[in-house]
Amino acid sequence: MAVVRRVALVTGAAAGIGLAIARRLAKAGYDIAIADVDSGGAERAAQELRGDGRRTTAIACDVGDRAAAYRMAETAGRALGDVDLLVNNAGIARLGPLASFPEADWRELFRVNVDGVFFCCQAVLPRMAARRQGNIVNIASWNGKLGAPNFGAYSATKAAVISLTQALARELASHGIRVNAVCPGIVAGTPMRAQVERLGEAFGLPPSSERAKVIPLGRLATPEDIANAVAFLASDEAAYMTGQAVNVTGGLWLH
């Protein structure tokens, strides 16, 4: 019997949550295209998974560049075959009060966090629609469901990702394509968390170690917690789920 290979394209997968997702999907049997602006980190991650017996490819890509996103999808397809699962994980954070938030930071947040999701979806959808099968999981945030001081611009981008997820789910259901989002809470041990800690200190925000005390499950999330949620949404066990924005917050946010 021929082995049916499945291919996942994960953006921002050189480190942090993205790398944890790539590892988890490889464990689930996917061949993995690892895309990241950090080409060296992407190649190291690809080599790691290759060592575990998976077919992989590393792709340097700025997801906020539409042409680059299309090249990424084409490269992944040539190297591994049609993309069955797209995980839009690439993202950046900028903090500060909205009243004085720099226009350049605002535009860069939307370019990467929103345009990047939009362009990457557009890049893979023609082949998914032609095959009448596919799966997209977008990494949003619990901050996309509420506004918080100094996180307003970031929250706006993640709210946009949730809305894009819902609209795409409705548009693509008849084509056999499911679209869902994962909304992480406070995730420890990632480059973005380290950056947010540094930026937050300048605005008098409490460190994540203090914030963990108000999380009902009593701890911060790990990248693996998020990766497990992605793997579930990508699986046949979630075959009747689309258009959902699933919280992985340890009970910190319930809506």
Q: Would you say 9 and 72 are in contact if contact means Cβ atoms under 8 Å apart?
A: yes
Give the Cα separation of 224 and 242 in Å (integer): 22
Q: What is the pLDDT of residues 61-71, one digit of tens each?
A: 999 999 999 99
- Does the annotation mark 240 as catalytic? no
187 exposure class (CB count in 10 Å sphere: 0-12, 13-18, 19+): buried
Measuring CA to CA, how many Å separate 159 from each of 73, 124, 147, 172, 226?
25, 22, 10, 20, 18
Q: What is the pLDDT of residues 224-246, one digit of tens each?
A: 999 999 999 999 999 999 999 99
Q: What average pLDDT does this structure show over 201-210?
A: 90
Pairing, β 56-60 against β 85-88: unpaired
Q: What average pLDDT does this structure show over 180-198?
A: 95
Q: What average pLDDT does this structure show over 181-195?
A: 96
Q: What is the topology classification, in CATH, of domain 6-184+223-247?
A: Rossmann fold (3.40.50)
pLDDT band of 1, cuts 50, 70, 90: very low
Whether residue 53 has pLDDT greater than 90: no
pLDDT band of 195, cuts 50, 70, 90: very high
Q: What is the pLDDT of residues 123-168, one digit of tens each?
A: 999 999 999 999 999 999 999 999 899 999 999 999 999 999 999 9
Whether residue 203 has pLDDT greater than 90: no
Q: What is the pLDDT of residues 171-180, one digit of tens each?
A: 999 999 999 9
Q: What is the pLDDT of residues 64-123, one digit of tens each?
A: 999 999 999 999 999 999 999 999 999 999 999 999 999 999 999 999 999 999 999 999
CA 187 from chain center: how many Å? 13
The pLDDT assigned to 170 comes to 98
The pLDDT assigned to 3 comes to 54
Instruction: Give me the residue spans of the domains in the chain.
Output: 6-184+223-247
Whether residue 28 has pLDDT greater than 50: yes
Active-site choice (30, 70, 154, 240): 154
Question: How large is the C-alpha radius of gyration of the chain?
Answer: 17
Whether residue 2 has pLDDT greater than 70: no
pLDDT band of 4, cuts 50, 70, 90: low
